[in-house]
A and B are shown apart, each in its own frame.
Chain A
Amino acid sequence: MTILGTDTAVADASPAPAAVRSPRRIGRRLLANAKVRIGLTIVAVFWLLAIVGAWLAPHDPNELSPDTLQGPSAGHWLGTTTTGQDIASQLLAGTRPVMLVAFGSGAIATVIAMVVGVAGGFLSGWAEEVLSMLTNIFLVLPAVPLMIIVASQLPQVGSWAVALVIALTGWAWGARILRAQTLSLRARDFVQAARANGESTRRIVFFEIIPNLATVIATSLVMTTLFALLAVVTLSFIGVTSLSDWNWGTVLYWAQTQQALQRGLWWWFIPPGLCIAILGMALALINFGIDEYANPRLRIGSVGAARLRRQGIRPRVGFTPVRRTAPARDPLDERRAG
């Protein structure tokens, strides 16, 4: 018995494919989705910036200069701060820590989620209860204050410490959906058959359960990464992380403390936010693509619907559209004529 009554609903909402599919095939099918392609391209561009950004930056992000509070120009693409620092260089230098923390803690949290979720779905008795309870506790605890009290009491808050703190507070959501999906898989025929054949639990978990969780694991990874992205810039923005490391949140922290808003210095606070938003949007798009793959009913988008409307088709439950294309005359007319 689960503590939350909706685990089955969650499982129903994202039914896993019925039988094992090779990861390569799933990958190909996902890449066929335009949303996934756009999202992955944006993420790839940001990774590229994370790698080469430090060399690309025209200035040292910490370098003070007499050109204070300048708007965007050829010399300073995104203008300068109150102390004449180059904002574009700060953003470029900040890309790597943001990407490392977001994807690093996304990965760590997903591993924790897999261990807790799959184990919780596969064990029974008190072990299951304990894991389920642990998941729910971490879901309910307010994550931001928790991260703040942990991070602010650490002696040094470098990127890896932040990544670890975020992962430790953000794994529960993934564990919950993985557990729900594992529970529903466990009841399926092919798992039951493997059990009846006397296959070891380890084999069932690694060869029957995990491959079938591929899409759920991917969703969990993408969503946790998005959570981590928002968390790391939030922590930097409120000044919990070390201010000597540049990251998009730190740029916003200085913009806020230097009253960039009140002074109308839009080049200081809009670009960092847009970076976050574009990367976040890309992750959300990837997640939509995975959702549509796992639940084909969600697939018809607004574009498809508009095209259908032009053909006179309105797909609806309860009133099947009728569009007579058959060459035969309307049988009623035939009757009236006869």
Chain B
Amino acid sequence: MPFLLRRLAFYAVTAWAALTINFVIPRLMPGDPVQALIARFQATGQVSPEQTESLRILFGLDQDVSLWTQYWQYWAQVLGGDLGLSFTYFPTPVSEVIRQTLPWTLILVGLATLISFVIGTSAGMVAGWRRGSLIDGLLPLATFFAAVPYFWLGLIAIALFAVTFPVFPTSGGYDVGLTPGWSADFVGSAVYHGMLPALTIVVSSLAPWILGMRNMMVTVASEDYVTVAHAKGLPARRVMMSYAARNAILPSVSTLALSLGFVVGGSLVTEMVFNYPGIGLALFQSINAQDYPLMQAIFLILTLAVLAANLVADVAFVLLDPRIRRAT
């Protein structure tokens, strides 16, 4: 499968690029905010020499070591899973903070994106196939939601459905009285708390799917093979699904993969608005506390998550498009 191999090579390079960005940025920036923070925590005696050393390697504070050596030390440390200490949740290691927050984000953003993709693509399919139908009329509304920042839509959702009509909780990921675990109470509470943020993400990310699929359906509808399918007297449903939509969805699948980085970005801010205990909230808190180790680790882990999702989309793409499989 040369296609998948090429993609894997691309992901390796992208992961390397993300890690290198994390290495380069602190070394490019004038001033040493991390140095100042370390000094502050060292004064209180809360940070051990090893922990200081790990931060020095991550942020390039050892001026006497050559850049090349720094780079190797940096890689060795990151591959060992040591991403430094979080200043926000001091003295918790960054990797622990990520471990606790990432599942919330993966489930919320993953599910919301999937739902949005399915609804948007189906709506776009019908809108493109039957021009001038009801869904065409809904397009301006969907576009309005797409032109609005996610977080503002989140604010409005809270104002409407949590404050004015208190149907949903205003913030948090679960009832504070419950202890996280796989109990029915906890899962139910988590689902209940996740509804409004998920709805916000779905509504704001819907329009691109509808538009993309609609435009592709319009384009594909005039392809000769669709005319042939009609000429063959196939049932309308089969022409739409298995001839038009089946081909029109291909660009949508690859766009899904590419736009994940964008969707994730918007969703992070949605988490901040809803005080949702995911990685977005951790990012928000890290900004206020100037917690650079946590910020960089979040960027890194999100990049890896997006790459993993891309790989899934690639496999789907290979399954959907025989022209990519170069066998025979």
Contact = CB atoms under 8 A, between A and B. Distances in A.
Given A153-B33, A155-B29, A276 B152 contact: yes
Interface in A108-160: 133, 136-137, 139-146, 148-150, 152-155
Contacts of B6: 3
A141 B17 contact: yes
A306 interface: yes
Contacts of A262: 163, 170
Interface in B215-272: 215-216, 218-219, 221-222, 226-227, 229-230, 236, 239, 250-251, 254-255, 257-258, 260-262, 264-266, 268-269, 272
A76 to B, nearest CB: 21
B310 interface: yes
Contact of A142 (B26, B170, B216, B264): B264
B147 A281 contact: yes
User: Which of B14, B26, B255, B290 has the most chain A CB within a 10 Å cutoff?
Assistant: B14
Contacts of B264: 142, 144
B146 A284 contact: yes
Given A5-B254, A269-B155, A318 B226 contact: yes
Contacts, number: 207
Contact of A256 (B33, B155, B236, B254): B155
21 contacts: A5-B324, A6-B250, A9-B216, A141-B18, A143-B261, A145-B283, A145-B298, A153-B25, A238-B272, A252-B151, A261-B158, A262-B170, A269-B152, A269-B156, A273-B155, A281-B143, A284-B146, A295-B215, A295-B218, A305-B131, A319-B230
Interface string A164-191: 0000000000000000000000000000
Main secondary structure of the interface of B (DSSP, over half): helix
A276 B216 CA distance: 29
Interface of B: 3, 6-7, 10, 13-14, 17-18, 21-22, 25-26, 29-31, 33, 130-132, 136-137, 139, 143-144, 146-149, 151-152, 155-156, 158-159, 163-164, 170, 215-216, 218-219, 221-222, 226-227, 229-230, 236, 239, 250-251, 254-255, 257-258, 260-262, 264-266, 268-269, 272-273, 283-284, 287-288, 290, 292, 295-296, 298-299, 302-303, 306-307, 310, 317, 321, 323-324
Contact of B273 (A256, A280, A295, A305): A256
Interface in A1-29: 3-6, 9-10, 12-13
A238 B20 CA distance: 25
Contact of A302 (B136, B227, B299): B136
Contacts of A272: 152
Contacts of A139: 258, 261
Given A5-B250, A140-B257, A318-B236, 11 more contacts: A5-B321, A13-B251, A137-B17, A155-B30, A237-B151, A261-B155, A262-B170, A270-B156, A273-B156, A298-B218, A302-B139
A226 interface: yes
A152 B295 contact: yes
B3 A5 contact: yes
A133 B10 contact: yes
A239 B287 contact: yes
A31 interface: no
Contact of A305 (B22, B136, B146, B239): B136
B75 to A, nearest CB: 18
B296 A273 contact: no
A233 interface: yes
Contact of B284 (A233, A238, A252, A281): A238
A240 to B, nearest CB: 6
B116 to A, nearest CB: 17
B18 A273 contact: no
A297 interface: yes
B271 to A, nearest CB: 11
B137 A13 contact: no
